[in-house]
Structure 1
Amino acid sequence: MKLLLMDKDTTSIVSMAYSQSEILQKEVFLFERIDVASNQEHMKHLKCIVFVRPSSENIAYLAKELQEPKYGVYYLYFSNILSKADLKKLAESDVMESVREVQEFYADYVPLSPFLYSLNIKGATEGLQWRSYNLLRSAQGITSLLLSLKRNPFIRFQANSDLSRRLADKVREILSKESALFEFRNETDSATILLILDRREDAVTPLLLQWTYQAMVHELLTITNNRVSLANVPGVSDELKEVVLSAENDEFYAQAQYNNFGETGQKIKNLMEEFQKKAKSTQRVESISDMKTFVEAYPQFKKMSGTVAKHVTVVGELSSKVGKHQLMEVSVAEQEITCRNDHAQHLNSVKQLIANSSIRDEDALRLVMLYALKYEKHSNNALVNLMEALKKRGIEEQRSKLVYNLLEFGGQHARQCDLFGTQVDVTDVNNVKNIVTRKLKGLKGVDNVFTQHNPLLKDTLEDLIKGRLRDTLFPYLGSSTMRKAQDVVVFIVGGVTYEESCLVNQMNKELSGARIILGGTTMLNSAAFMDEVQIATQGIPNRRTRSKFR
């Protein structure tokens, strides 16, 4: 019998990799947090499996635990590199010689899917500079990921971003210090690229309403480590107040997570019809043979029943919010602002929607943010008028000032790429090609008016995979003598979105011989992104916005 002792971070990591029933099958019957005071009595019959981050706090907790051990024996596993000094401290504390094993088990990040990870760091920067702990934590998360993948990468970073450069330097520092750990046999002619990007380069993607199932759930309900709270849904049953959306343990979700809202609704209908057929077949239990068949099928039937109830409730709540707050109208305006050039029409659309009482305040604010980003330098910029309209809606001035904070965070001065495809540099063949592609797409129309937008990450990754990503914009750190990139590990300072995750999923299916792994400091929806912007711009005067708009 075993007890699993974790900290706050590793609890999240383990919960994403294993269900509780899977852990129970390994004879783990108790779960404790090392950083939460416990009055647990001594249980020498239990083996204690410790899985924690090698932080100074955890080392102190462990040293105290080993001096007066409550359990029979201890197996110590650390999610990242353990220093020799900390190892010595633990050895000196193990006065009862109860430790049987010490091992580094590289898993210092939250695995959200086979190609998506997060470090769950909120408010990574302040004053548009790294918070020192978050810089170190980000570097440790990245190096842990590289060790678990057994990759020693070439590092590229965003040239205009001090945040990206500093993180690249910190990662290289760890790679150099722990060079022995990164000596992997390279049996192929390919290489791994670690590409470090800055969220400031694309502040549009986190602001847009999403229409694929997973991204839509995160935008309107919020997904936290695969869990969604439905406690505020009227009439919801107790067992559905919190639901788990995991592609690994939910076949329907695995198939539907990247489908658009209409396709998801059709899949739900098909699932319900299938369930109703099975329910009718189980109602006829007239013989011993029927009873045996029913008992054998019951676990699957029960699981299917739970799946139907869960997804019908989630999709029903999404549908309710879409209708109540006229989100389709809002989304059309967002996509038009982002993907097309028509200042007069866009300004009129935003004004009309701000005046619409059915629209939520946060949606009105996002529309003004998108307008501000798109038409920051336009000769007829009417941002002052739109800010006044927000005030008339009753949005507090402190909240509406986020528009100016956003311009300081991700305005034109903070970007090196052409986010909206409006600037043509005839000397740059790739730039011209991208502009022409976008314009042709606009002329031909799109299959879905709600999904016209492609994240900037798409162009960046395509250029990288094809070997045409410009060194001046995304330089190498150190040597640039490399072979064709097979694995690309992306890290976005400031957070990543499920829209970008959906993009990477599609690219991984289409690429031959290459794999992309995407991650960032945190997972964003529009509300979380606004919080990040507010924290990141604390103490920064709105120099650019004051001079132009006030």
Structure 2
Amino acid sequence: MDHHHPSSFTHAHHRHQNSATISTESDGNLVSNIFTNYIKKALKETGPGMKSLLVDDFALAMTSNGMNQTDILKREVFAVEPLMMTSNKSKSKSLEKVVVVPSREEESLRFVKAVCILRPTNENVNALCERLRGGGNGTSTSSSYGEFHVFFTNAIDERKLRAIAKADARGGGNKVKQIQEIFCDVIAMDECAFVIDSRDCFKEDAMRAFDPNGGMRKRVGNNNSSFQRTNYEYALMCDPSWGVRNGTPLIDRCVEGVTSVCLALKRPPMFRYSAKSNIARRIAEDAQRVASEREPGLFDFGRRNDEGYCHVLIVDRFDDCVTPLLTQWTYQAMVHEIFGISSSNRVRAPDAQKLSKKPEEFILSSREDAFFRDHKYDDYGDVGAAVKKYVDDFANERSKTTASKSTASVDDVAKFVERFPEFRQKSATVAKHVQLVHTLSKVINDRQLMKVSEIEQELACAGTSVNGLEKQVEEIVNDPSFGESEKVRLVALYCLRRETEAPQICQHLIRVLSNHVGGKRIDALDCMLRRGGENARTSDLFGTKTIAARMRTSVSALKGAENVYTRHVPLVRSLVAQCVNGKLPASEYSPTWDGFTPECSKKPAEIIVFIVGGATYAEARAVAKFNASKESNNIKVTIGGYSMLHQSRFIENLANVFDEERGP
């Protein structure tokens, strides 16, 4: 077979059967471990010898979350290089967990193997072809590397494979040694959480954490002012029929991401969607077509039907607008809410004692940071106590080391030198968490978040009495010491809770609010109530629609909660519990598959929840806690969204949806 002929090249390097893909063994089918194993297997199958990892921006974030610099170097990778010179260099340079170098234009590296991990986009394929041909497009003046081993993060079509084959032939041939598909077309943010968007979601200015406007862009005046559109994620909260700019590409990207997770978990999928959501139905139906029509061979895992399906729930963000509005009190969620955690797990946080200095950048990774792994789901008080103990333990260890220096033997000195890197790393970790907790404490005090959060929890939790809370809400709205963010969120929560019981009070609070905040925030509130109100949403958000729901709510309220600030339980927790027990109503979460039967719904082998419009770390925590509970029946749940939301991003998205709905 002629390796360079386009058709023979395609058959040599492409696969249509699942058996030809890279297989991995995962720990409990956690997406983070699956993706890490994919990368390790890709590097292993390249064989021994020096390697350079060629990545796009997406693969750079995915790789940095899965492997650190030491892991990379152990596998003979001496550099991580952007595929294109136009890649996001600022992101690359600040990424601490992998070494990133600029593209080499003149240097010949014939003895080095290029391991390419790329999304199968037209842009990436064109850039790869330019490298293979040996020039042009600002990527490289020569193909440099002696071998190319290409791994695409999702299925690639025949047309693109033929283009790569032709480029390889024109560049001298026999450089592309293999092309494989590894299904990791999302970014694992946590053990059981993923996102699709690889762009940073930092707050624009870390100092805005101390802003009374809560890190949101301040807009004063009428509806002519607008939020700056730095991304088009809001298009996923619009009706597909509106024809929003970038709407269809974002829908397609969600389909690619969700189906890649199904393939990574190696379970035949069964898609279900929020019955009242057109965007959720569109994503679910498109994903079903991929699985049953476009790539049926990929989803044939040789499993019997009685082994169970992977239930994929496509949930509309408007089904639960409460969760992204609440003040968060667990460590990971608080850090994201106030500072923002990027897709590569980086945080930019100012030092509360040195506010004039540029914010520092930290890595918050469960894989790298044992303290963060152990305490990311703890509430604020427990984290503070844990940090204090961590500091005390480190101080004791340091004092023992210092005291023993004068009487240390040669062996003692040798042991100290051996442990010094670990000691220095622990010192940096201690300093990082002390600074984060100290800064969080200052933000909480400056913005009076504890007082606000008590009212939020009363409004958000089903089974609690909200009579009289309108007075407290109005007092805060009229109080200039509270920020716009807190005022908007309290009014929004009150209206979501009592829109049918007390519509006149809701309208009064909105009128009062409009005197204190910019017009775009009122637009966002209007959009939320129309699209996520009681008549529009699929779910029984407050547990009041049926007798059974009211009984469950009453029992839950009687049980109480350990912490008054963390009583609220996200809707997703109820959905996955119903799904595990086979009690999720098909009338509310409709199946796309004609062969759906009640018997199918009772046998989920795994569950994926994809929230259109973005997930939150509070929901990721709820899923992790569910997975660890007996209620899960050992059925693993994975949650994902286009991004991880924080309050200001959610409000901005709502305001932009309002603009699209209103039209030019």
Per the TM superposition, whether the score is higher than 0.5 is yes
**Cα separation, partners in 2 of 1:128 and 1:35, compared to 1, 3 Å:** farther
Q: CA deviation at 1:358?
A: 2.9
Which of 448, 466, 469 is residue 346 of structure 1 equivalent to? 469
The one-character-per-residue Cα deviations of 1:452-493 (angstroms, maximum 9, x if unpaired) are 211111221111111111111112222114262121111111
Contact 1:127 1:538 (C-alpha < 8 Å) held by counterparts: no
Contact 1:127 1:536 (C-alpha < 8 Å) held by counterparts: yes
State whether structure 2 residue 149 is matched by structure 1 residue 75: yes
**Cα separation, partners in 2 of 1:237 and 1:539, compared to 1, 3 Å:** closer
Which of 23, 27, 30 is residue 76 of structure 2 equivalent to? 27
CA–CA distance in 2 between the matches of 1:266 and 1:412? 41
Contact 1:8 1:35 (C-alpha < 8 Å) held by counterparts: no
Aligned to 1:12: 61
In structure 1, list runs of 5 or more residues that go unmatched.
426-431, 543-550
State whether structure 2 residue 635 is matched by structure 1 residue 507: no
Aligned to 1:59: 125
Which of 514, 538, 544 is residue 422 of structure 1 equivalent to? 544
State whether structure 2 residue 88 is matched by structure 1 residue 88: no
State whether structure 2 residue 331 is matched by structure 1 residue 213: yes
CA–CA distance in 1 between the matches of 2:424 and 2:358? 14
CA–CA distance in 2 between the matches of 1:126 and 1:241? 33
Which of 484, 495, 516 is residue 614 of structure 2 equivalent to? 495
Contact 2:337 2:647 (C-alpha < 8 Å) held by counterparts: yes
**Cα separation, partners in 2 of 1:443 and 1:145, compared to 1, 3 Å:** closer
State whether structure 2 residue 268 is matched by structure 1 residue 152: yes
Q: CA deviation at 1:124?
A: 4.1
Q: CA deviation at 1:76?
A: 1.2
Q: CA deviation at 1:526?
A: 0.9
State whether structure 2 residue 211 is matched by structure 1 residue 100: no
Amino acid at match of 1:400: I
Amino acid at match of 2:266: K
Q: CA deviation at 1:241?
A: 0.5
Partner SS for 2:313: strand
Aligned to 1:41: 106
Q: How does 1:423-438 map to 2 (within 5 A)?
A: 423=545, 425=546, 432-438=547-553
Q: CA deviation at 1:28?
A: 2.0
State whether structure 2 residue 481 is matched by structure 1 residue 358: yes
CA–CA distance in 2 between the matches of 1:540 and 1:472? 27
Contact 2:109 2:146 (C-alpha < 8 Å) held by counterparts: yes
Aligned to 1:526: 647
Q: CA deviation at 1:40?
A: 2.4
Q: CA deviation at 1:4?
A: 1.6
State whether structure 2 residue 285 is matched by structure 1 residue 169: yes
Which of 230, 234, 238 is residue 123 of structure 1 equivalent to? 234
Structure 1 range deviating more: 378-387 or 91-100: 378-387
Aligned to 1:369: 492
State whether structure 2 residue 252 is matched by structure 1 residue 136: yes
Instruction: Please report the TM-score for the alignment, with normalisation by the length of structure 2.
Output: 0.77
Contact 2:351 2:435 (C-alpha < 8 Å) held by counterparts: no
State whether structure 2 residue 476 is matched by structure 1 residue 399: no
CA–CA distance in 1 between the matches of 2:577 and 2:552? 13
Structure 1 range deviating more: 141-150 or 228-237: 228-237
CA–CA distance in 1 between the matches of 2:351 and 2:655? 27
Q: Which runs of 4+ in 1 moved over 6 A?
A: 236-240
The one-character-per-residue Cα deviations of 1:106-145 (angstroms, maximum 9, x if unpaired) are 1100011221111127334264337100111111111111
**Cα separation, partners in 2 of 1:443 and 1:514, compared to 1, 3 Å:** closer
Partner SS for 2:109: strand
CA–CA distance in 2 between the matches of 1:442 and 1:338? 12
The one-character-per-residue Cα deviations of 1:179-226 (angstroms, maximum 9, x if unpaired) are 111111226633321111111111111100111111111111211121
Partner SS for 1:300: helix
Amino acid at match of 2:386: K
Aligned to 1:548: none
Aligned to 2:457: 335
Partner SS for 1:117: strand
CA–CA distance in 2 between the matches of 1:377 and 1:540? 24
Partner SS for 1:77: strand
Partner SS for 1:412: coil
Which of 297, 300, 310 is residue 192 of structure 1 equivalent to? 310
Aligned to 2:208: none
CA–CA distance in 1 between the matches of 2:459 and 2:358? 41
Structure 1 range deviating more: 235-244 or 144-153: 235-244
Aligned to 2:446: 324
CA–CA distance in 2 between the matches of 1:234 and 1:128? 46
Aligned to 2:584: 469
CA–CA distance in 2 between the matches of 1:24 and 1:357? 54
Higher relative strand content: 1
State whether structure 2 residue 512 is matched by structure 1 residue 389: yes
Contact 2:280 2:315 (C-alpha < 8 Å) held by counterparts: yes
Contact 1:354 1:364 (C-alpha < 8 Å) held by counterparts: yes
CA–CA distance in 2 between the matches of 1:398 and 1:258? 33
CA–CA distance in 1 between the matches of 2:431 and 2:328? 23
**% identity of equivalent residues:** 31
CA–CA distance in 1 between the matches of 2:398 and 2:268? 53
CA–CA distance in 1 between the matches of 2:571 and 2:659? 26
State whether structure 2 residue 186 is matched by structure 1 residue 109: yes
What is the alpha-carbon root mean square deviation over aligned residues?
Answer: 2.2
Q: CA deviation at 1:508?
A: 0.6
Structure 1 range deviating more: 193-202 or 475-484: 475-484
Amino acid at match of 2:127: Y
Contact 1:491 1:519 (C-alpha < 8 Å) held by counterparts: yes
**Cα separation, partners in 2 of 1:495 and 1:464, compared to 1, 3 Å:** same
Number of residue-to-residue matches in the alignment: 534
Structure 1 range deviating more: 512-521 or 133-142: 512-521
Partner SS for 2:189: strand
CA–CA distance in 2 between the matches of 1:413 and 1:36? 50
CA–CA distance in 1 between the matches of 2:508 and 2:662? 21
In structure 2, list runs of 5 or more residues that go unmatched.
1-49, 87-102, 135-142, 199-232
Q: CA deviation at 1:341?
A: 5.5
Q: CA deviation at 1:500?
A: 0.9
CA–CA distance in 1 between the matches of 2:559 and 2:606? 34
CA–CA distance in 2 between the matches of 1:117 and 1:43? 38
Q: How does 1:241-280 map to 2 (within 5 A)?
A: 241-280=360-399
Structure 1 range deviating more: 112-121 or 101-110: 112-121
CA–CA distance in 2 between the matches of 1:380 and 1:123? 28
Aligned to 2:35: none
